[in-house]
């Protein structure tokens, strides 16, 4: 089954933070609600790059 971008994004975030994706909404604030730090940010960006075949600029 092919996921849409929202479902895939929620799944990735839920996996990274070990939470239920049903608890994620448009109002969820990663830094505040999930206590995301800079290492989490890097790991999440890497997971999105792999999942959606993206490239981010270095530097």
pLDDT tens digits along 5-49: 899 999 999 999 999 999 999 999 999 999 999 999 999 999 999
The alpha carbon torsion through 30, 36, 40, 46 (nearest 10 deg) reads 10
* Residue 22 counted as domain residue: yes
For residue 8, tell me if it sits in a domain: yes
Give me the number of domains the chain comprises. Answer: 1
Q: Is residue 57 part of a domain?
A: no
Q: Where are the beta strands (DSSP E) in the chain?
A: none
Please check whether residue 12 lies inside any domain of the structure. yes
Is residue 2 one of the residues assigned to a domain?
yes
**Rounded (10°) CA dihedral 8, 18, 40, 49:** -20
For residue 55, pLDDT beyond 70: yes
Q: Is residue 33 part of a domain?
A: no
**pLDDT category of residue 2 using cuts at 50, 70 and 90:** low
Range of the domain at 13: 1-26
Instruction: Kindly tell me if the per-residue pLDDT of 59 is higher than 70.
Output: no
13 in any annotated domain: yes
With CA atoms as reference, report the closest residue to 37 among 9, 16, 15, 12. Answer: 16
The helix/strand/coil state of 40 is helix
Q: Is residue 56 very low, low, confident or very high in pLDDT (cuts 50, 70, 90)? A: confident
């Amino acid at each position: 089954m092919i996921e849409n971008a929202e479902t895939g994004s929620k799944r990735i975030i839920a996996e990274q933070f070990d939470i239920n994706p049903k608890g994620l909404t448009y109002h969820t604030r990663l830094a505040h609600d999930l206590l995301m730090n800079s290492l989490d940010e890097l790991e999440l960006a890497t997971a999105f790059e792999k999942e959606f075949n993206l490239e981010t600029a270095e530097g």
